[in-house]
Amino acid sequence: MKSIYITSVERYSGKTAASLALGRRLQAAGHQVGYLKPLSLQPWRVGQHWADEDAGFVKEILGLESQPWEMSPVVVTREGLQELLAEGQQASLMARVKAALEAAAQGKDYMILEGGGSLREGYAVGLPTPQVAAELGSTALAIVKYRDEVRLLDDALTAQHRLGERLRGVLINRVPGDAAKFVQEEAVPYLEQRGITVLGSLPEDRSLGALTVQEVLDVVGGELLTEKHDPQALVETMTVGAMTSDAALSRFRKQPNKVVITGGDRADIQLAALETSTAALILSGNLQPSPLILKQAEESGVAVMLASGNTLEIVEAIDRVFGKTRLGQLAKLQRFEELFDKYVDVQRLNHALEL
């Protein structure tokens, strides 16, 4: 059995998507594949057990027999943190991870191990990614999310410094179109010269960072005024309707699959939103819209929510989670796999990870 540890320098970089894309590729080649997330800071309650919140989705996609809590042996909850920090507990946590890997690896050719949210996590409980990867004898792949030119280079070099020889390569993810030339012509050669194998660079795709309509509504937490909408429809952009109706219509036409936040008394903006590709309409100030707006929204399948907060508060609440949703939807995974197949050097990946 060979284990591959997939990690990243920061959260929400695409580790789960990469883990599943690699796992499904190995399964398609006829291999038996298992999955483990040694440490999770994203607890999910499953009956009497705690598991990682992505474990159920991974189990379904890879068709695994293991239970979600078996795939996430150490889950840090607020209630359990004190126990995990207790003297002598840390050594037993590593033993727990090893035992979980041994059990999950039975009959498997490959084990995909997903690291925590970032390379900074795990030190407090004695399970930092570099140590776990070393203790488990895993080769490592780092996902580096593009943020800007300097931080891209620094993040890749940080992964090399932290993981050492266990790092077999990096995948650069979410590269904006205007940064593609820099990545290919400057960043990749620079990193390769410093001994970092760049296995591919995936372009930014707004749909992968999108929220579902239901996730938007959950974040806002107001009163839902319509019934006919698709809760799983993706919201790719967010815009504030605080301009003239003519200006709003011009802008809205350029923004597909959006959520519009505007005042409950701005019927002109609301109508402009409903005439374009809008998935949800959030009305601030706790001001009821006209029956005409609600009737048109029902006919168009647009969710309308009445929120008590002001527009700025609503925007800030949504902005905190936009682009940071967990994978959780098959459509997103399939789109990521399309990008993976197109932009990753699979032959070089196989060689680097000894697949």
Per-residue model confidence as pLDDT tens digits over 77-116: 887 787 777 766 666 889 999 999 999 999 999 999 999 7
Per-residue model confidence as pLDDT tens digits over 246-268: 788 888 888 888 899 998 888 89
pLDDT score, position 143: 96
Provide mean pLDDT across the span 136-155.
Answer: 95
pLDDT of 311 strictly over 90: no
- Range among 21-35, 116-130, 230-244, 264-278 with highest mean pLDDT value: 21-35
- Cα angle 252, 257, 260 (rounded to 5 degrees) comes to 55
Provide mean pLDDT across the span 301-308.
Answer: 90
CA dist., res. 28 & res. 50, Å (int): 31
pLDDT score, position 88: 64
CA dist., res. 116 & res. 219, Å (int): 24
Q: Which domains does the chain have, with CATH numbers?
A: 2-206+326-353 (3.40.50.300), 211-319 (3.40.1390.20)
Counting every residue written for the chain, the total comes to 355
Q: What residue type is 259 in one-letter code?
A: V
- Residue 223 has phi, psi (to 5 degrees) of -100, 120
pTM here is 0.77
pLDDT band at 230 (very low <50, low <70, confident <90, very high): confident
pLDDT band at 288 (very low <50, low <70, confident <90, very high): confident
| Residue 191 · residue 174 · CB < 8 Å | no
- Range among 10-19, 115-124, 156-165 with highest mean pLDDT value: 156-165
What is the rounded average pLDDT for all residues in the chain?
A: 89
pLDDT score, position 236: 82
